[in-house]
Amino acid sequence: MKENTFERVDEKLYSEVLDNGIRVFLYPTKKTKNFYISISVKYGAKVTKYKLNDKVYDIIPGSAHFLEHKVMALSENKEISKRINELGSLANAWTSYEGTNYNIFGSINIIENLKILLDLFYNTDINEKNVEEEKGIIGEEIDMYKDEINSYIYSELYKNLFNKSYVRNTVVGERSDIEKITSESLNRVYSHFYTSNNTFIIVTGDFDKDEIMNVIKDYIGKLNLKPKKLPKVIKEKEPDKVSVAFEEISKNMNDIRVRYALKMKKNIFGIKDDEILRYYMSIILSNNFSATSPLFEKYKNENITSRLSYSFNIVDDHVVIIISSVCSDANIFIDNISKDIKKMTLNESEFERKKKMALKIYVTSFDNIEDIEYDLCSSILYEDKINYHEYSDLMSTTYKEAKRILETIDYSNISIIRTSK
């Protein structure tokens, strides 16, 4: 096993690539008696079209999430469900644009829990009958997603911001998409993407690394898995301009929700590391639009808004800044924020204060095994690597660079979405 150490916290991660291409990451720690195990696939909702062996395939939106349901089919596997309940463990799964993750959390008998998760993952049965049965369950999930107003507004906003990008589709898809999904289409995607060389396993918590690695190798070795040629994902070229500049959604609500968004090219900032760009933007935006910012206090005192927040996202070659508000008069808020967003400030003392806070959060993040697993998983899904020098990267950030990034923001490409009473 390869051994690497995370800077500053002196925590070790052990890794190995098996002969079939599966990557295994082990993070043993005595800080807890619990453990967290996950198996992840680098296939998520962002894949809408791909090429394999000179043939091009279109993927129905919602397919990655549908596959998650069929792999983590606890309702269909009573025996495995019984084993999980007897151990008092929690099994779960999630799908993002980048990938799909299957996990189990427990406190006793880590080996049995590991075998349960491996059994679930490697004994997937996708047939016409259980696919049709699952459509009703996923349809209800889609309805719940649309009923959650903030999720619905964000999904509509991203349709307005982007013209061709995968983010125009939600991870769960639409009911009309789900009806098109078949056992044949799911089995094809499963065969092409759920390959050993597109899969990785993470184990965090209290365990013996050699024992766990041997269990994984013994189980995987009996499956006779072989690496396969991976599909080439086909991406649509995204225009720089937003798709829709303004939309009003009719909702029967007591208050009004507004999302004011900027879309711009990522390369204008001249930063290759997405995580560093996110870090700088987080400091800039929190300084200006958080619940403790002077602007929020001003807006609250003047009854312009009762809630103010921000988000920042990177979507391939573009970045998005979103300012969110709950208010009584959308026009007044939009008029004010369209002026004030161009007046964003950042002083050196505030930058250094937030930098110290970020370094502290980084160190304390190693106290929670679920956070560790999620961070490791996200690093592999998004960047296909783990950064063991994140502390040094954060330390090397400067106020001068933050100021340059602030002055580089493009305010010209705007999309606004609001609800009406």
Read off the pLDDT of residues 2-45 as tens digits, 9 standing for 90 and up: 999 998 888 999 999 999 999 999 999 999 999 999 999 999 99
The CATH class of 246-420 is alpha beta
- The predicted structure's pLDDT at residue 421: 77
Separation CA 254–CA 258 (nearest Å): 13
Separation CA 291–CA 26 (nearest Å): 38
Task: Select, from the ranges 249-253, 336-340, 357-361, the one with the highest average predicted confidence (pLDDT).
Answer: 336-340
Q: 384: which DSSP letter?
A: S
- The predicted structure's pLDDT at residue 25: 98
Read off the pLDDT of residues 129-182 as tens digits, 9 standing for 90 and up: 999 999 999 999 999 988 898 999 999 999 999 999 999 999 999 999 999 999
CATH superfamily placement of domain 2-233:
Metalloenzyme, LuxS/M16 peptidase-like (3.30.830.10)
Read off the pLDDT of residues 289-347 as tens digits, 9 standing for 90 and up: 999 999 999 999 999 999 999 999 999 999 999 999 999 999 999 999 999 999 999 99
How does residue 116 score in pLDDT terms, banded at 50, 70 and 90? very high
How does residue 73 score in pLDDT terms, banded at 50, 70 and 90? confident
Considering the chain, tell me which residue range(s) the CATH 3.30.830.10 domain(s) occupy: 2-233, 246-420
Among the residues of 255-409, which ranges form H helices?
274-289, 294-301, 330-340, 348-364, 369-383, 390-395, 399-408
How does residue 393 score in pLDDT terms, banded at 50, 70 and 90? very high
User: Is pLDDT above 80 for 76?
Assistant: no
- The predicted structure's pLDDT at residue 9: 87
Average pLDDT for 244-249: 96
User: Is pLDDT above 90 for 252?
Assistant: no
User: Is pLDDT above 80 for 253?
Assistant: no
Separation CA 260–CA 271 (nearest Å): 24
- How large is the C-alpha radius of gyration of the chain? 23
